[in-house]
Amino acid sequence: MKDFKLPPKSERLKLFGSIEPGLKTKPSEKDKMSDLQNMKKNFLFGLDAVGITNLKTPVTVISTIEPLTQTTIATFTLTSTIPHNVKGTNMSRFT
């Protein structure tokens, strides 16, 4: 891991959205909302893997011999990397 100097904790909290509650001015209509996950800004460090582990879902295995189809439960891990200049990922797109 490379060495770098982090800003003070209060500044880091502001960077990631942890600030004191204030006047509610955020839009409530989707087309007026900011896309925070794709906002380009320096977030100090990237993440190698974020996602979902042990996702269990039914799958059908198709074969050319009898039985032609079999149903089983598969376990998946869905991950993505996040570079330092992106705030996050849209987890709903993983499934």
For the stretch 25-80, pLDDT in tens is 788 888 888 777 677 888 788 889 999 999 999 999 999 999 999 999 999 999 99
56 within domain boundaries: yes
pLDDT reading at 11 higher than 90:
no
89 within domain boundaries: yes
Of 18, 38, 15, 47, whose CA–CA distance to 86 is shortest?
38
How many structural domains compose the chain?
1
82 φ/ψ angles, rounded to the nearest 5 degrees: -130, 115
Structural domain boundaries, residue 59: 42-95
Q: What is the DSSP letter of 86?
A: B
Are the C-beta atoms of residues 55 and 61 closer than 8 Å to each other?
A: no
23 within domain boundaries: no
In 1-95, which ranges are continuous DSSP H helix?
A: 9-15
36 within domain boundaries: no
- Give the pLDDT of residue 23: 77
2 within domain boundaries: no
pLDDT reading at 1 higher than 70:
no
